[in-house]
Amino acid sequence: MERENMVKSVSRALDIISFVGMRKGGLGVTEIANQMDINKSSVYRILSTLVQYGYVEQDNETGRYKLGYKFLEVSSRLLESMDLREEAKPYLRELESETNEVIHLVVYDQGDVVYIEKLDGNETLRMHSKVGKRAPMHCTSVGKAILAHLPPAVVADILERKGLPVHTDHTITDRDQFIQELVEVRKKGFALDLEENEYGITCIAVPIFDHLGKVIAAVSISGPTMRMTRERLQMLKPRVISIGKQISSRMGFYEK
């Protein structure tokens, strides 16, 4: 019953957002209640919550409700991700064609990485990754590539909140060792995942920067450890670094 009420509340909130968004001058509580055929107190409670989170605003003069600026913030983030995907896609396809391995593009979000693109290559490889899925930062090459370029205070906060949980016997779980790993990643320009997230899987990743020089994403090559040998990683390193720089350039980043 509680779940049904929650679903109904979410449904009503989305309906209210739709109604408010269709009227340029906004809508009052009575108008919304009449259109939705529910009581005004319920409408007011939902509107109050939406106002609290910035998705709806109330005009002080008219008392009418209109869409809030939070939608611009959310949509701009989505547009940034979509633009990144489009700009990166040709380069990701190049890497896929050249290596025949799995290629990932991820973005940073609230202490995790989120896969926004995955190309499967021509070789058979079972991985847990899929578009839309979250992954930890400390044991993935893409996560380490991003962490190495985030402000120290942000990194400290992430480690405090997320910790360094074990995923395999190769996961780095010592904080000092991990911080040193990030120093090396920043110095070398690439990050490795040597079976730290999944057994049998080795990855190499590089960061992607935006026009402000902020790290916004990472791209990686993933393959079975039997193919991703130390020698092959050395061969792939300059290529993936080059791809990362080209994508960053497309996002407006220019090295000084």
Kindly state whether residue 120 falls inside one of the protein's structural domains. yes
For the chain, list the strands marked E by DSSP. 56-58, 65-67, 102-109, 112-119, 134-135, 191-194, 201-209, 215-224
Is the pLDDT at 72 greater than 80? The verdict is no
> Distance between CA 45 and CA 68 in Å, rounded?
17
Of the three residues 68, 102, 126, the one that is the final residue of a domain is 68
d(CA 22, CA 255): 45
Q: What is the mean pLDDT of residues 136-140?
A: 94
Sign of CA dihedral 225, 228, 233, 238: negative
Do 215 and 240 belong together in one domain? Answer: yes
What's the number of domains the chain is made of? Answer: 2
CA distance 126 to 112: 21
- 236 pLDDT tier (thresholds 50, 70, 90): very high
Measure Cα distances from 51 to 17, 32, 57 in Å: 11, 15, 5
* 233 or 59: which leads in pLDDT: 233
In degrees, to the nearest 5, what angle opens at C-alpha 114 toward C-alphas 153 and 128? 125
Same domain for 186 and 120, yes or no, is: yes
- For residue 245, what is the enclosing H or E element? helix 230-250
210: CATH? 3.30.450.40
Query: Does residue 46 sit in the same domain as residue 169?
Result: no
Residues 34 and 60 placed together within one structural domain of the fold: yes
In a domain, 102, yes or no: yes
213 and 101 belong to one structural domain: yes
CA distance 253 to 250: 7
The reply to whether 58 and 88 lie within a common domain is: no
Judgement on whether residues 95 and 194 belong to the same structural domain of the protein: yes
Statement to judge: residues 59 and 86 lie in one domain = no
* Inside any domain, residue 40: yes
Among the three residues 14, 43, 68, which one is the final residue of a domain in this structure? 68
Residue 236 and residue 156 share a domain:
yes
Under 8 Å CB-to-CB from 101, ≥6 apart: which residues? 121, 123, 125, 221, 222, 223, 227, 228
Q: Do 26 and 91 reside in the same domain of the chain?
A: no
Q: What is the pLDDT of residues 8-33, one digit of tens each?
A: 888 888 888 888 888 778 888 888 88
Give the separation between CA 189 and CA 145, rounded to whole angstroms: 8
Q: Do the domain assignments include residue 255?
A: no
Do residues 31 and 96 share a domain? no
Assigned token pair, 234: 């050395």
Residues in Cβ contact with 199 at an 8 Å cutoff, skipping those fewer than 6 apart: 168
In order of 72, 188, 223, the CA distances from 52 in angstroms are 16, 45, 46
pTM tops 0.85: no
Q: CA dist 171 to 56, 68, 163, 199, Å?
A: 44, 43, 12, 10
The predicted model gives 38-63 an average pLDDT of: 88
Query: Is residue 81's pLDDT more than 70?
Result: no
Return the top range by mean pLDDT from 15-19, 85-89, 216-220, 249-253. Answer: 216-220
Task: Confirm whether 256 is domain-assigned.
Answer: no
Residue pLDDT, tens place only, 154-205: 999 999 999 999 999 999 999 999 999 999 999 999 999 999 999 999 999 9
Range 48-56 average pLDDT = 89
Q: Range of 220's domain?
A: 78-250
Give the domain CATH number at 20. 1.10.10.10
Query: Among the three residues 15, 46, 68, which one is the final residue of a domain in this structure?
Result: 68
pLDDT of residue 1: 61
Alpha-carbon gap, residue 13 to 20, rounded angstroms = 11
Residue 82: pLDDT over 70:
no
Give Cβ neighbours of residue 225 (< 8 Å, ≥ 6 apart): 194, 195, 200, 201, 202
